[in-house]
């Protein structure tokens, strides 16, 4: 059998189930760290419940993913997860899901491994959203998840700091309402509302036009120019304001 015939015969097994995202749909990729609970609690030394170095590594991964050849208009990270809003009109890899999933997961895993100096991995999934309203709802969902996780984490580690065993600390929080958890922390001198916004709301990365100064090589004079820069937001808004913030990223 000639190579061309063999190639055509075998390649169908790779491509027969290729799925392409439909044009006109918004694509949001979500990546999660594999085994990051063990990474952060057993294999590496991080400050609990939140560590600035870990946060900065996750932000660095977001920044890399937004500049690795798949155009993204917004990146968001909280805990060990990352969400990326791809440019609405993107035709990267002809919108083939297997290519987008494997490349984003691979790029994230590689960068994070270099930063952590140990092998780590991410998985990836894609949501195909038909409306801008659902895009806003998606990111509000992830932000509200961040807030719930932050409240639980501060309560849990406060109990651990008091000497409670892991299971006992977990069991103590079961059934407690949000208000009770706030009161629990407040009684221990922690005002949850005044904690750093990035712990409660996550971190965003957006493209913005910024003014930069340079020198005109012909005249030697100082000139100003507009440049597109990827910027990090540690103070994300909430609720409807956050929905408007997200909408603005793909309206630019």
The CATH number covering residue 101 comes to: 3.30.70.3000
List the structure tokens of 134: 């659902």
Q: Does residue 252 register a pLDDT over 70?
A: no
Domain that holds residue 8: 3-131+197-201
- Asked, for residue 26, whether it belongs to a domain, the answer is yes
Q: 37-41, 65-69, 84-88, 199-203: lowest mean pLDDT where?
A: 37-41
Structure confidence at residue 61 as a pLDDT band (50, 70, 90): very high
Q: What is the reported pLDDT for 222?
A: 78
- Domain membership of residue 251 (yes or no) is no
**What is the pLDDT, as a whole number, of residue 74?**
98
Q: At what angle do helices 132-161 and 166-173 cross, to 10 degrees?
A: 130
- Confidence band for 87, pLDDT divided at 50, 70 and 90: very high
DSSP H or E segment with residue 103:
helix 97-116
Q: How confident is the model at residue 250 (pLDDT cuts 50, 70, 90)?
A: confident
Residue at 72 is within a domain: yes
pLDDT at 215: 77
Mean pLDDT, rounded, for 230-242: 96
Residue 177's alpha-carbon distances to 154, 172, 174, 181, 183, in angstroms, are 14, 12, 9, 6, 10
Residue 35 lies in a domain: yes
Rounded Cα–Cα distance for residues 198 and 146 (Å) = 9
Whole-number pLDDT of residue 141: 97
- Asked whether residue 158 is domain-assigned, the answer is no
Question: Do residues 78 and 145 lie in contact, with contact meaning Cβ atoms separated by under 8 Å?
Answer: yes
Q: Is residue 189 part of a domain?
A: no
Residue 237 falls inside a structural domain: no
Domain count within the chain: 1
- Look at residue 231 and tell me if it is in a domain: no
> pLDDT (tens digit, 9 = 90+) per residue, 113-146?
999 999 999 999 999 999 999 999 999 999 999 9
The pLDDT tens digits of the residues spanning 33-54 come to: 999 999 998 899 999 999 999 9
pTM for the model: 0.91
pLDDT digits (tens, 9 = 90+) for 144-188: 999 999 999 999 999 999 999 999 999 999 999 999 999 999 999
Q: Which residues pair with 227 in a beta bridge?
A: 210
Average pLDDT over residues 19-23: 92
Mean confidence (pLDDT) of the chain: 93
């Amino acid at each position: 059998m000639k190579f061309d015939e063999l190639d055509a015969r075998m390649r169908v097994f790779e491509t027969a189930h290729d799925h392409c995202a439909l044009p006109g749909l918004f694509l949001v990729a979500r990546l999660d760290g594999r085994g990051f609970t063990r990474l952060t609690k057993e294999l590496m030394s991080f400050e609990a419940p939140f560590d600035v170095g870990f946060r900065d590594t996750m932000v660095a991964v977001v920044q890399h993913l937004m500049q690795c050849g798949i155009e993204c208009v917004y990146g968001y990270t909280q805990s060990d997860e990352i969400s990326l809003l791809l440019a609405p009109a993107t035709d990267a890899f002809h919108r083939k899901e297997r290519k987008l999933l494997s490349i984003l997961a691979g790029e994230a895993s590689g960068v994070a491994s270099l930063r952590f100096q140990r092998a780590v991995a991410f998985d990836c999934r894609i949501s195909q959203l038909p409306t801008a309203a659902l895009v806003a709802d998606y990111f509000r969902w992830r932000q509200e998840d961040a807030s719930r996780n932050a409240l639980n984490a501060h309560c849990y580690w406060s109990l651990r700091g008091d000497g409670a065993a892991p299971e006992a600390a977990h069991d103590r929080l079961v059934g407690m309402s949000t208000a009770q958890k706030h009161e629990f922390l407040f009684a221990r001198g922690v005002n949850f509302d005044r904690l750093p916004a990035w712990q409660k709301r996550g971190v965003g990365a957006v493209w913005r036009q910024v003014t930069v100064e340079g020198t005109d090589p012909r005249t030697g004079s100082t000139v100003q120019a507009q440049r597109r820069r990827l910027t990090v937001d540690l103070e994300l808004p909430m609720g409807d304001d956050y929905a408007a913030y997200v909408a603005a990223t793909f309206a630019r």
